[in-house]
Structure 1
Amino acid sequence: MQIYHRHRVCHRHFSEEFRVTLPSRTGIRANAYPTLFLSESQLIYKDVNGNNENINLNNLPSCSSAVNVISPNKEVLQEEQQSQCSIKETPRKARKSYGGIIRKFGSSRQTYLSDEVKDIYKKVVTSYKHITRNKRLVASFKSRFANISSSLRAELLKNLFEHVNKPTVDFFFSQLANQPKTPKSRRFTIQEKVFAIALLKSSGKTYKLLSKIFAFPSKSTCLALLRQIPMRAGLNEQIFLSLKSAVQNMSISGRSCIVMFDEMSLAPNLQYNIKEDCIDGLENTGSYKRAAIADYVNVFMVKGLFRKWKQPVSFTYSKGPIKSTLLKHLIVKVIGKCQEIGLKVLCTVCDQGSANQAAINSLLSQSRSCSEFQVNGEKIIPLYDIPHLFKGIRNNLLKKNLYIKLDNKLNIAKWEHIIDLYYIDRDAPMRICPRLTEQHVIPGKINKMKVKICTQVFSYTVASHLVTFSKWKDNLPNDAERCLFG
């Protein structure tokens, strides 16, 4: 029988005697013909020797009915629509042409080549076949290796993500997505930008260093996101909402906090806010505005006592120092808002400004107490920050004397004692207080804003030498011994 080149016969139709089992070659013999699982139809088969013989095709399964056989006296059996066996139609493979290699030998056909050149040509073709086969093997191995690597990578990532938190996972995938890209092609989510802003605000130099290693948003991108946050004078409701969600996860001690407030002077300036369609730089307390150019800002901040956290919650603009009545109203309002979200305010801290003292004294008078006031039934203790207390003591000593009664004896502390100590030490061959200068003791040369200048005068070294010098005759009066500032 004659079989089309575009069809194949399943191996199950050939017996073992027609199969080739050599190590270098597998398949069937050239004179093989199907003898197994054939139908009862009598088909004429013409073998390779030209002999015709009749073969009974027995026990042919339904899947073998798709074999296209052409007989001189029979029509082609076609039942391909019902075929589900392994006999499949496959396109004929294109035969590889080696004409280009022959042309390199200066000929158009292999028959025109000499015997020596033919041997070389056959070796070249054989080598080319080996190279092609090796390329296919390499491509196959690469594909298998990629699949195995992908599976291992997926399993490793799964095991990794089971032992790290979600921010670490998000950061990992962000680096995978953005590091291969150029800086201008990178895209970041809001959460990734917020994480970058937290690093930027913690340390600008550290963020600059990390940006050279990791794929982080640029500084301008972070600032652009910050500008989208609405910041208006008065209490910031959005900040209190964020604090409320954070407070719910805090312990009782973690919720204990203090309210700090202070003001500073500003350079008068007006600027049109395009986003809010308003003019910034005018007096604004959040509840009302006034057409007066502001030159002072007052800021309220909440800080944890037992946990390290702090958060500004309110600011106001004013022309000149803030009024004590307005400051008193803001203190009560901020404390009440903190209590509303679950924080426990224990005290307030401020400097000894005139408006601050007036507001605190007004709150104390309402509570009829000299050490505490109440907001919503909870006791609040007002405190003045220690640096300003030191400066206050120093400034009072510059103009007034301090009377101290010790051991039923009245003693007087004067600033002149410290001035005399400075002159005695300055004129000595070897100075005992070398860091004490005119900027520390001479009233007209003291920088009253620097706390360091004040605390250095009230140090243990100055106090101990002041006591020592007071025991020397003709140096300091005896009452200087009582001036112990350390």
Structure 2
Amino acid sequence: MPRRECCVFGCHQFDVLHRFPKPETSLERFLEWKKIVGSKLEDKTNDDIYTNCRICNNHFEERFFYPQSKRLAKTSFPTLNLGFISSNQDESIEIQSVPEVLSESMDIDMVPQILPGCSSQVPNPELVTKTGKISKVKQTKQMEIMIKKIDYLKKKLNVQKDQIKAAQKMSKTKLFKKIVKSLSVPTQTFVNMQLTQYKKKNRGRRFSIKDKLLALAIYKKSPKGYNFLRKIFVIPSKRTLQNVLKQITLKPGLNPVIFEQIKNATEKFNTEQRLCILMFDEMALSPAMNLNIPADQIIGFEDFGKDVNSNQTENIADHVETSSTSRMYRHS
């Protein structure tokens, strides 16, 4: 049985050979290959070409091979060393359907080169310049769905940008400033926080102490609710609030800073409004030992406060006593 060789005119290489695309499943690409090879295959049937004809590696670009393999991709077609097709005529081949997704249409100029071992017996063969045009591929259903989704999101983004610009312009008007001034102090703080921080990136936002205290009050009321609000509004993160709490030093026993805050809050109260209930409660703790690195102190032993003699014992604490106040009357 004779050994197969490359069917390109003038090429007698026995390198790795590749079969033509199957006519039954890839007829369009099969005809393109047949057209590129030229008149040598005109008299043969499609089945005969598919069964007996091969094209060697020398006629395919590297981009048509799978990585670290000699196997051709399904989008491949011969483009190199095709100068042996004809000795007296130039052919212009237009490749119209290549199943490869390209962002735009491009022209490919293929100037063949004579490789060593390819038809050295042909005297002065004329080089043939071929121009192929790769057109856009038909979009699959999945691509169409993704493109529609992208277009929808782009429109939604543009609408939101317009709304933000309109809100920004409105925030600079005298009427808006007048309305904000009529709001309560916490509401003013919240509105100003949204207007000043919404444009900035997460790591570029800077919150004032008023912003942090307002956010901390919301967080203490409902941590889960705070997580939900943080998805909608621009408010400080949990870590920011934890850093605020670290700046407040509270030790076991009586803390003067708490009484100072109560004094400031009740300064304008009358006698009736100052009536309150003092409550004590006890809660169980899981025994544990923690190291307070800044204070160089081990936390976890019984501690009754600095106002009690021998305030800290050698026993590990398993209960905590708390105290709180509740007003009997509210502002009318």
Specify the TM-score bucket, using the shorter chain as the normaliser.
Answer: 0.3 to 0.5
- Structure showing greater Rg: 1
User: How high is the TM-score relative to the length of structure 2?
Assistant: 0.44
Relative to total residues, which structure has the larger strand share, 1 or 2? 1
User: How high is the TM-score relative to the length of structure 1?
Assistant: 0.31
Larger relative contact order (C-alpha < 8 A, sep ≥ 6)? 2
Relative to total residues, which structure has the larger helix share, 1 or 2? 1
